[in-house]
Structure 1
Amino acid sequence: MKTFSSIQELQAFKGMEAGPSEWHRVTQEEVNLFADATGDHQWIHVDPERARRESPFGGPVAHGFFTLSLLPMLTERITLVHGLKSRVNYGLDKVRFTAPVPVGAKLRIRATLQTVDDEGAGGVKVAWLVTFEIEGGDKPVCVALSLAKLYF
């Protein structure tokens, strides 16, 4: 876990990588709950038997947005900023789902700090290039530029 206690420590970390996180196994239950929460019940995600028969992936796969939704949980496992009054999600740039995530697979992230921009009044906007990896995979399954505002 990489910890930070000041804006200066964040700035000094630019260009460096935090992680990898611990592995997180993607379960069918999680995928089904995500489908219920979003209304996206496409069979390739929620019908394991049909997915095994008809899918080009040989079984059910997680929604791309489900994979992305693991970002906050996995980020908390690789970075900690002490002394924050608040952290606000500012958005995402350049999100790509570069490979499928089969149900049952294990995911983890790595994150490289790209920018730390002064927002005034004790705040900074940070951009992390986040790469989601699948255990045994030869390429990332998702890559995104994650933006947040941190207030000290």
Structure 2
Amino acid sequence: MNRKVIENYEQFAAFEGKDLGESDYLKITQDQINKFAEATLDHQWIHTDPERAKKEGGFGNTIAHGYLTLSVVPYLWEQIVDVRNLKMLINYGIEKLRFNQPVVVGSELKLKGKMKSIANLRGITKCEIDVVMEIKDSKKPAFTGTIILLYHFND
């Protein structure tokens, strides 16, 4: 893993239109899925009932909530880019999010990012990053989309 270190707008801007890199793999466990179900009150059996999922689910086992796979983006993003000299980071939005493939329990996920665009909004750095959440040994990604982050750097 070749983590980028960024300390200001200019360093980020140098990556516009370029790949930023990829994270390590993260294994999705049934325990994570169950805790996510508790936190979100989404207890659909395809996520939380391994026996029923094996018999009726069509995927051979339980699958992670789509939003669980999305929720690990910050953790994996920090493996790609180490942003320093920061007052605050704000998750501003997500565009064109598409869940392409279910994530079966035990799958390993990896995030890839490319700097789509960057803008300086009166001292706030707005980054639009095209992301792909890959599933190890799968041709189709778990999801694709564009995350929008606002970075407030120290002066």
TM-score (norm. length: structure 2): 0.95
Tell me how far 1:3 sits from its aligned partner: 1.3
Write the mapping of 1:14-53 to structure 2, written as runs, cut at 5 A.
Answer: 14-53=16-55
Cα distance in 1 for residues equivalent to 2:140 and 2:19: 17
Cα distance in 2 for residues equivalent to 1:80 and 1:134: 23
**Deviations 1:36-71 (Å, cap 9, x if unpaired)?**
000110000000000000011111000000000000
Which amino acid in the other structure matches residue 60 of structure 2?
Answer: G
Aligned CA RMSD, in angstroms, stands at: 0.8
Write the mapping of 1:59-138 to structure 2, written as runs, cut at 5 A.
Answer: 59-120=61-122, 122-138=123-139
Cα distance in 2 for residues equivalent to 1:36 and 1:130: 27
Tell me how far 1:78 sits from its aligned partner: 0.7
Tell me how far 1:19 sits from its aligned partner: 2.3
Tell me how far 1:30 sits from its aligned partner: 0.2
Cα distance in 1 for residues equivalent to 2:140 and 2:17: 21
Cα distance in 1 for residues equivalent to 2:145 and 2:36: 20
Aligned length: 151
Structure 1 segments of 4+ aligned residues over 4 angstroms from their partners:
none
Q: Which runs of 5+ in 1 are unaligned?
A: none
Give % identity: 39
**Deviations 1:97-152 (Å, cap 9, x if unpaired)?**
000100001001000011111110x2111111110001101121111211111111
2:55 aligns to what SS in structure 1?
A: helix
Cα distance in 1 for residues equivalent to 2:128 and 2:113: 10
1:76 aligns to what SS in structure 2?
A: helix
**Deviations 1:76-99 (Å, cap 9, x if unpaired)?**
111012211111110111111000
